[in-house]
Amino acid sequence: MTTTIPHWIEGRPHVSAGDRLPVVDPATGAVSAAVALADEDTVKQVVASAAAAFPAWRDLPAARRAQVLYTFRDLIRRHQDELAELITAQHGKTLDDARGEVARGLDSVELACGVPGLLKGEMSEQTGRGIDTFSTLHPLGVVLGITPFNFPVMIPLMMAAVAIASGNTFILKPSEQDPGPALRIAELARDAGLPDGVLSVIHGQQQVVESLIDHPDVAAVSFVGSTPIAHSIYQRAANAGKRVQAFGGAKNHLVVMPDAPIEAAADAISSAGFGAAGQRCMAISVAVAVGGVGDDLVTALSERAKAVVVGPGNDPASEIGPVVSAAAQQRIQGIVAAATAAGAKVVVDRSTEVVPGFENGFYVGPTLVDDVDPTAEIYQAEVFGPVVVVVRVDTLDEALKLIHDHEYGNGASIFTASGGAARKFQREASAGMVGVNVPIPVPVAPYSVAGWKNSVFGDTGLNNAAWRFYTQPKYVTARWDETVTGVDFGFRPN
């Protein structure tokens, strides 16, 4: 019998009466479980549970909330391998990559453990005669996180840790393609002492998401996924008067200057472009060759693309695993085929590669396309697969214009030995996260994850910026001076 992955409501598993969707192992194409989809009653139940838990959790001192989070952190660390195996089984990425994902999620939990020192207001004495002014930060209430398939542990922890530490209750709606890790996170949170209703998990598709956004007791929405859905969620949540941050797609450029070490740059592009089968919102999908480095760079990238070992994520020999679904596999292969038909210079094409013994798996091998025109679909679209395109330009200014003109602005990197070029790039690159001789410039948790342009809508920032997203300020002006009397109809300065 197929295992059913339930919701998590009131600190325990909950199987709804709704439909079921198959959960497929991307490495084999076989159904490994079924996920229960919520109906309207389940939506009402999960929000009611979170709303009921909010007052007591909000009123718990921040230091007490931190104690629960410290225990939660230790439990995640203790079960890191188990969580990685769940990610690999349902997402497909290699175990090594999955362990790295859990480690980055742990960074976010450790950030949240510092809530007593981070969730502070401000105070100014004597802002007027006998008057003090101060601010305090307050949780919002019930908040919703809608997370993507490509990071089923890291993104939920980035959202939930700070939201919960701030005194909110959190409803997690993970991707139905790999829902298992979310349930295990909820179980570990319960074991850490998190009260029932503070963290809930609910599964569903568009109708469930819309019902959650529309519910009057949901105060804020955080989303990570594709740009069209991010824009739709932003509009719906904003129209409903909710606070919202919605992170969308990306087309991240890595600029290789003439003075850059070609081998190091090629290693970085290959790791960041082909790693996780290209299914990272910060994957490098465009290599920009400046000046005369194009031929040498393409040669080095070609050697690496041909050498990458593709296979199931639980095989230690595999360097990249499958993509998440048959639909993703077909979409990526279709984009490569269309580029080939349009006359693109495809240097390496492993997009239709079949892994022996895993013929039904959803594999897409590394693909390299040279001398790409910026108007081409394969340049403009977010492929979200192990496909790297090379664009050749003459100057750094041309490279910066490419980045500026693209609709997405998640990340951009430069490889150079020149401090001047690096400084110009970090100041002028039109992206929210910039790397200098670093291929994937996602900052550590005490900083923030944020994008520009059509990569984000609404209030930006995960990790450290999330303290402000998940709280609302209150400003108090107080006078304790009994000698002040008299009626004054003017609006006076202090």
Active-site positions read: 281
Place of tokens 């850490």: 192
**Is residue 340 classed exposed, middle or buried when 0-12, 13-18 and 19+ CB atoms within 10 A define those classes?**
middle
d(CA 301, CA 305): 6
**Is residue 314 classed exposed, middle or buried when 0-12, 13-18 and 19+ CB atoms within 10 A define those classes?**
middle
d(CA 62, CA 42): 30
Q: Pick left, alpha or beta for residue 20 (phi over 0 → left; psi -120 to 50 → alpha; otherwise beta).
A: beta
d(CA 43, CA 173): 11
C-alpha 81, offset from chain centre: 21
d(CA 81, CA 104): 14
For residue 173, the SS3 value is strand
φ, ψ of residue 408 to 5 degrees: the values are -95, 155
Which residues on adjacent β-strands are paired with residue 477? Answer: 133
d(CA 264, CA 261): 6
Which residues on adjacent β-strands are paired with residue 109? Answer: none
Q: Are strands 284-290 and 387-393 parallel, antiparallel or unpaired?
A: parallel
